[in-house]
Amino acid sequence: MKRRSIAIISAAALTVAGLTTGLIVWLSQPSYDDIVKDCQKALAAQSKAGGEGKPSDCNGVKKDDYGALVISNAFDNLPQKDQDVLDYYDDGSINDSIGGDTP
């Protein structure tokens, strides 16, 4: 074989190996949903421990999603009686659930 053929075969083999490695690394990365779930777990654990601040597991979460997770976590930690802010009936209307004797 000529040197040129060996160089072409070597370059092709290196390219295939590089692409395969890149694909494996890319596929092993967690999805955004996985990152959000990890953040949710970290917020719950931090809340139970009495900690404050943004857990490092939440660094990859978008700002709006992180805010929603914080609010959801805070709401989940309220006593059950404080979570029931409105008493909706099956028809979907408020039906006097706010403030007593209104007509």
Residue 100 clears pLDDT 70, i.e. is over it: no
Domain boundaries, the chain: 1-30, 31-103
Q: What is the pLDDT of residues 60-88, one digit of tens each?
A: 899 999 999 998 888 877 776 655 555 55
pLDDT above 90 covers a percentage of the chain that reads: 13
Q: What is the pLDDT of residues 8-22, one digit of tens each?
A: 888 888 998 888 888
User: Using an 8 Å Cβ cutoff, are 96 and 88 in contact?
Assistant: no
- Tokens representing residue 82 in the block: 């404080």
